Amino acid sequence: MVLQTSVFLLFLLVPAGHSLSCYECVGVTAGSNIKMNVKDCSSDCANGSINFGTLQMTVTCCNTDQCNAKDAPDYSSAAPNGHRCFYCDTNSCSNTISCSGNEDHCIKAKGTFETHSKDVKGCASRSICEATSMKSVENISCCSGNLCNDAKPMTHSFLFLCFCFISCLKLI
């Protein structure tokens, strides 16, 4: 009985977990480049920026109620830093872009919007690459060299072809 009373008092004294109260909205400016202003609450957030060629995002995180009243800094104010990465448009993923600000990595990922999914490439800051998860972005892989996000892994069929070729050479 004493144990039950103690456990009951413990639950009364421990404050309940409260989630953050945040502003939530999505603003989109269309044109040749899409600019988005998204405000939301997220338990997993990383400060930084991403440039997917036609979509640039700057992420600013905070952790108190209503702390996201101000917009994140404008992406276009970041100066180019000399780093270059591949990005995808509607036709191919062999286009190159100049990275800006603290974007010191190239990124490859799968972006999801509603029911559509698409491979994306571009520039990203290290903190974005180190994030364990991001809304609408999965299978994130990053690298730090110039144009390093274009490498295609060798497939089993290619290795099999190489093995067959080498075996044929031994027969000659």
Q: Which pLDDT belongs to residue 143?
A: 96
pLDDT of 162 above 60: no
Q: Which CATH number describes the domain made up of 22-151? A: 2.10.60.10
* Residue 50 or residue 13, greater confidence: 50
3-state DSSP: the chain helix, strand, coil percent, rounded to 5?
A: 25, 35, 40
Q: Is the pTM of this model over 0.85?
A: no
Contacts of 72 (CB under 8 A, 6+ apart): 37, 58, 59, 60
* Residue 35 or residue 80, greater confidence: 80
pLDDT of 31 above 70: no
Count of beta carbons in the 10 Å neighbourhood of residue 79? 7
Closest CA to 80 of 49, 118, 110: 49
* Residue 165 or residue 63, greater confidence: 63
Structure tokens at 135: 């809304």
What average pLDDT does range 64-92 have in this prediction?
86
pLDDT of 120 above 60: yes
Structure tokens at 106: 């190239």
Q: Which pLDDT belongs to residue 45?
A: 77
- Mean confidence (pLDDT) of the chain: 73
Closest CA to 135 of 50, 33, 20, 35: 50
Alpha carbon separation from 52 to 18, 23, 92, 107, 137 (Å, rounded): 35, 25, 13, 9, 12
Is the separation of the CB atoms in 23 and 66 below 8 Å? yes
Contacts of 59 (CB under 8 A, 6+ apart): 45, 46, 47, 48, 49, 50, 72, 128
Per DSSP, what are the bridge partners of residue 108? 121, 141
What band does 36 get if pLDDT is binned at 50, 70 and 90?
low
